[in-house]
A = this chain, B = another copy of it.
């Protein structure tokens, strides 16, 4: 299984050849740069008969032609952007507001970290991919997009210790405005490493039992899951993952 844990890339402009495998391969023959590195690695993995996991918010397998290739080659793939900190908490917490009919007026997040990942995200292009990936889940979880944004800032001395503050302003009965805040102090590599190991094992198992193409059952691990799964709630993602894993075990 090939896993992309490289730094975040900016997303390329959409190209017509992304929609069809034949057209994509013809374009690649002339201009290998038609695909960004993350997608090129996915292409190579599929061609060689290997599953692919995108642990970043990069373009990766977000190309219909690559999904066609994976189905043909009988290999599974999953992604994108490992859910290790702030977004993990969001997918656990946002359902609480939704289920209790507490209207979220704004949800703001500030993230600081150092290290190579922090340095990359200090550039605008990659950060835009990341922020889009971080915010996408909130709309799905709440049914509307609250006010607010997400900031990622590079603070060199923090190294791998990703620190996040989230401020949530919400409204209850009779319009009463209330607040919740959380801070998260997590070691990003330590949070990511076991997810990568699990993803490798689960993707290999999927291939063994013939589950090819995008694997929405692995949404539990991702900020912006491929395959458009219906439910973004963390607990339901866990249940879906367990049901799928157990079903496979029974079949075996």
Which A residues have a C-beta under 8 Å from some C-beta of B? 88-89, 92-93, 95-96, 99-101, 105-106, 108, 110, 112, 147-149, 151, 153, 155-158, 163, 165, 167, 169, 172-174, 176, 178-187, 190-191, 193-194, 220, 233-236, 238
- CB-based contact B157/A147 at 8 Å: yes
The answer to whether A151 touches B148 (Cβ under 8 A) is no
Q: How distant is A94 from chain B, measured CB to nearest CB, in Å?
A: 9
Known: A165-B181, A178-B185, A235-B236. 8 other contacts (CB 8 A): A95-B234, A167-B183, A173-B190, A180-B184, A180-B186, A181-B183, A182-B183, A235-B235
Q: SS class of chain A's interface: helix, strand, loop or mixed?
A: mixed
In the bound complex, how far is the Cα of B185 from the Cα of A176, in angstroms? 11
Residue in B93, B101, B187 whose CB lies within 8 Å of A194 = B101
Total copies of this chain within the assembly: 4
Measured between beta carbons, the chain B residues less than 8 angstroms from A163 are 167
A181 to B181: give the CA distance in the assembly, Å.
8
Q: Tell me if B191 and A172 are in contact (CB < 8 A).
A: yes
**Residue in B157, B172, B190 whose beta carbon sits within 8 Å of that of A187 in the complex:** B172
Q: Which residue of B lies closest to A187 (CB)?
A: B176
**Top-3 shortest CB links A-B:** A110-B110, A92-B96, A182-B182
A96 near B101 (CB under 8 angstroms)?
Answer: no
* Chain B residues with CB below 8 A from A106, complex form: 112, 155-158
